[in-house]
Copies of this chain bind each other. A is one copy, B any other.
C-alpha cells in the first residue's frame, strides 16, 4: 500500500522552512538546497512541490501573511473591547517585541524590498497590507459609529496612517536597538501609537 502523503502539510512545512531561513539569514540565504535541508528532505522532493525558487519564496510570503492574518482575525473577534483597545491589540501584534514578531518583521521587510523588482511578490504584499488596513478601517468606523472616536477624519485615512505609523515604528525598531528599547519601555505602546494618530478624535480615558 503506498504511503499517504499530506501534500498541503508538506507545502506548509517547506514554506515554514523558507521563512525560518529568511529570518536567520535574509533573502540571500534562501536556496532550494538550503530549504530542503532545513525541512529535512531531499532537493528532489522539494522540486516536486515548488518548480522554482521564486515559487517557493512566494509560498513563504503567503504563509507569513496567512499566519499574521489569523492573528488579525483573533484580535477582531476579541470580546469586550472598545475601538481604541482593539486597534491597540492589532498594533501590538506587529511590534517586534518578541522573537516571533521580530522574525515576522524581518521577513516582511525582505519582501518589501523584493516588491520593486518582483511582480508576483508585489501583489501578495499589497494584499497583506490591504487586509491589515481594512481591518483597522472597520474598527475605526465602528468607533465612530458608537461615538468613542470623533468623525472628523475619514476611517480610510486614519487606517492608512495607523498602519503606516505602526509598520514604520516596527521596521525602525527591528533595525535600531534604541528604538526597540523605547518601545519596550512604554507601558502600552499599542495604545500610545493609536492615540498618536487619532489625537483629539478620541477622549482622554479609554
> Is A160 an interface residue when CB atoms closer than 8 A count as contact?
yes
Tell me the A127-174 residues at the B interface (CB within 8 Å): 129-130, 157, 160-161, 163-169, 171-172, 174
User: How far is the CB of A137 from the nearest CB of chain B, in Å?
Assistant: 13
**Total number of A residues with any Cβ neighbor in B under 8 Å:** 43
- For A198, the closest partner residue in chain B by CB is B199
Chain A 23-47: CB-based contact to B (< 8 A → 1; otherwise 0)? 1111111000000000000000000
> Is A200 an interface residue when CB atoms closer than 8 A count as contact?
yes
> Is A52 an interface residue when CB atoms closer than 8 A count as contact?
no
DSSP majority for the A interface? helix
Question: A165 — which chain B residues lie within 8 A by C-beta?
Answer: 161, 164-165, 168, 197
Q: How many copies does the complex hold?
A: 2
B114 touches A172 (CB 8 A): no
Question: A113 — which chain B residues lie within 8 A by C-beta?
Answer: 26-27, 106, 109-110, 112-114
A-B contact pairs, 22 of them (CB 8 A): A23-B116, A24-B117, A26-B113, A26-B116, A110-B113, A110-B116, A112-B175, A115-B174, A116-B174, A126-B175, A129-B175, A130-B176, A157-B182, A160-B179, A160-B182, A161-B165, A161-B169, A164-B168, A167-B168, A168-B168, A171-B171, A200-B200
* A interface residues, Cβ below 8 angstroms from B: 23-29, 106, 109-110, 112-118, 122, 125-126, 129-130, 157, 160-161, 163-169, 171-172, 174-176, 179, 182, 196-197, 199-200
Known: A27-B28, A109-B116, A160-B172. 6 other contacts (CB 8 A): A24-B117, A110-B113, A112-B175, A115-B175, A125-B175, A126-B175
